[in-house]
Structure 1
Amino acid sequence: MSLLLRLRIVKPSLNLFTDRSFSTVKIPQSRRSTTKFDKLIYDAGNSGDFETVRCLLNSRVAYGSFNTSDTFKFLTNTASYTSDLEDLRRVLPQIDRGFTRKNAYDILIARLCKLNRIEDALIVIGDMSGLTPSTFHPILCSLTKKNKIEEAWRVVESMRSKSVPVDVTSYNYFLTSHCYDGELEEASEVIRKIEEEEGISPDACSYDALVLGACRSGKVEAAIGILRRMEEDGVRVLYSTYAHVITEMVKEGYYALGLEFVLTYAGRDLKKL
């Protein structure tokens, strides 16, 4: 039966290391830490040496040192932003195909979202091939956090137009936004879309958002009911899900009930080895 109805809530090639450039940045000839690679890319990007940025993006993945949220930290909202982004758009299509290129694009999009450059992130998506839902996640996260729900839904429509499936994580950004604001009717509509339109099942984060929504609406009993439904359905309960309930109980002064809740659920969220 629908959750909505039940709850009734209102090996890359190593010859790339022979790439030559006039850079003063030395490209590592052996494995280095992600921090080291990020620092080298920062220095190269900050100095405008994007040929070296390209080489470093290739070499780090070949050595198993993957990109991080700091990889494009040199890209900032300064006077050089536009030219730096254009240089990145020029060199990214030149790096190795597959994971290396896709991951570099994804990390760049996440960086642009952190800089609140959503339109530029969408432009970069237009440069890509092999799009996946995760490519759009930073954009949806950024928009829904700012309560720009209509813009976020337009991004969803863009995903569909590009034949990118809308996964449960994409919907969870909307669900969390509505539940944080206590908008239970809107949250119910998102659950309906997940189950009826997409035919996928809500996950632990979906339930977590629903518990949050119930708590922020002052409906602790409903929140506990959702938590029990999670257990019945075999859904792993997140630490934050328990915390939502406890926080609301303390806020409302239900100290004895809160203590009973803690004692009842103590140890249930331990990971099974």
Structure 2
Amino acid sequence: MTFLRRIARNPRSAAAAAARPRASSNPNPTPTAIRDAPTSAYYDDLINAAGRRGDFAAVRDLLGKRVRDGCFNTGDTFRFLTQTETSLSALDDLLRALSRVDRGFPRKSAFDALIARLCRLGRPADALRAVEAMASDGGGVRLNAVTFHPILNLLARRGDFEAAARVAGAMRDRGVPLDLTAHNYFLTAHCYRGDVAEAARAMEEIEREGLGADTRTYDALVLGACRAGKVGAAVGLLRRMAEEGVPPLYSTHVHAVKAMLRRGWSAQAAELVRAYGGRDRALDRENYGVLASELVRMGKAEEARTVVQEMAEKGLIMGEKLREFYRSSSSSSSNDVGI
């Protein structure tokens, strides 16, 4: 049973796609002159130019040569694919070209980049077609969890957990176990929705498989606790992260700060930011900046003034709006003293 029969629930089938007008797939592309010391961005530009003119043989050759030159694929590699039907009608030709890229890493990375691009375009069914082409190729390409990450992330963010579960099942059928990143997509999506029961089940599966917890796992758990109104539990998780030496994402403390402010606990939010201050300057800039900005938005000018004064004393960079607030509040304070 193929991935498409197992997973796809989209009328844009491979047969329908094959009926679309095809772009040219020139078997004898015009040789492309490559400059000395090329960069990934340079190769992206060449590949996108070839893709727009339908020269997929050139795309194939460039995908192989860029890896030999140490220029790996990026999020812009397949930018010539857009939401237009004209662009996507060339997908079959592109898949055939990728199946003839140099075996091993060049071919694997090319397919992975294409799958990521299709998911950014919001087209999981087409991404699964790419997986099917990749898996059926059998020429030095071995599927792993990284290939499926963009698809699982997209489906989980959409809340289409049934489709995401089918993808996970198909992965296991292919001997590709879910890694911690894949599990985190499910966990984060459930936590974002405040679905404590499903988040708990997702966490139980992570623990059952002995995958531990990383920065994104904790970020999801803190978010979930805040969404469920358990701010104390969120703070406890932050403390546990610090004890275990797990570095937070910028968003992790912000989840707790905003949850406290929504409950009117501005003093506690400021205390939390100060408690974790001085460990990471970039994190301080984010935490203090969010706290001050939220206080300004809530109309708590006096408390916001105190926070931006601390930022100035610590030499933390402020955004434009906070700088303007700081200048205006400093000017106001000077006028008050003058009176």
Q: Write the distance in 2 (CA, Å) between the matches of 1:96 and 1:23.
A: 16
Are 2:219 and 1:208 equivalent residues in the alignment? yes
> Are residues 1:145 and 2:130 paired?
no
SS in 2 for 1:80: helix
CA distance in 2, matches of 1:91, 1:124: 12
Q: How far did 1:117 drift?
A: 1.9
Aligned to 2:8: none
Displacement after TM superposition at 1:29 (Å): 4.6
**Quick one: distance in 1 between partners of 2:169 and 2:143?**
14
2:333 corresponds to which residue?
Answer: none
Alignment of structure 1 residues 81-230 onto 2, 5 Å: 81-128=87-134, 129-196=141-208, 198-230=209-241
CA distance in 1: counterparts of 2:210 and 2:274, whole angstroms: 37
Structure scoring higher RCO (CA < 8 A, sep ≥ 6) equals: 1
In 1, the alpha carbon distance for the partners of 2:71 and 2:32 equals 16
The percentage of counterpart residues that share the same residue type is 49
Aligned partner of 1:234 in structure 2 is: 245
In structure 2, distance between residues paired with 1:164 and 1:46:
34
| SS of residue in 2 equivalent to 1:59 | helix
TM-score (ref. length: structure 2)? 0.70
**Is the 1:76–1:115 Cα contact (8 Å) retained in structure 2?**
yes
Q: Deviations over 1:49-97 (max 9, x none)?
A: 1111111111111111111111111112323345411111111121111
SS of alignment partner, residue 30 of structure 1: coil
Report what 2:36 is aligned to.
30
Structure 1 residues 156 and 270: alpha-carbon distance in aligned structure 2, compared to 1, 3 A threshold: farther
Q: Displacement, 1:21?
A: 6.9
Q: After superposition, where does 1:240-251 map in structure 2 within 5 Å?
A: 240-251=251-262
Aligned pair count reads 251
List aligned pairs for 1:45-64, cutoff 5 A: 45-64=51-70
Let me know the Cα RMSD of the aligned residues. 1.9
AA at the equivalent of 1:249: M
CA distance in 2 between partners of 1:168 and 1:270 (Å): 28
Q: TM-score, normalised by structure 1?
A: 0.86
CA distance in 2, matches of 1:252, 1:24: 65
Instruction: Say whether the 8 Å CA contact 1:237–1:269 is kept in structure 2.
Output: no
Instruction: Note closer, same or farther for the CA distance 1:245–1:48 as it changes in structure 2 (3 Å cut).
Output: same
2:72 corresponds to: 66
The answer on whether the counterparts of 1:175 and 1:209 sit within 8 Å (CA) in structure 2 is yes
| The structure with more radius of gyration | 2
The AA in structure 1 aligned to 2:238 is L
Q: Tell me the alpha carbon deviations over residues 226-260 of structure 1, each in whole angstroms, 9 at most, x when there is no partner.
A: 11122233322222211111111222221111111
Match of 1:8 in 2: none
Per the alignment, residue 14 of structure 2 pairs with none
Paired letter, 2:178 = V
Structure 2 residue identity aligned to 1:31: A
Secondary structure of the equivalent of 2:111? helix
Mean CA deviation greater in 184-193 or 57-66:
57-66
**Cα separation, 2, equivalents of 1:42 and 1:235:** 40
Partner of 1:258: 269
Whether contact under 8 Å (2:82, 2:88) holds in the other structure is no
**Consecutive unaligned residues in structure 2, runs of 5 or more:** 1-25, 135-140, 283-339
CA distance in 2 between counterparts of 1:161 and 1:23 reads 39
| Structure 2 contact 194–227 (Cα < 8 Å) conserved | yes
Aligned position for 2:290: none
Question: Cα deviations across residues 178-213 of structure 1 (Å, max 9, x unaligned)?
Answer: 1111111110100001111x2211211111101001
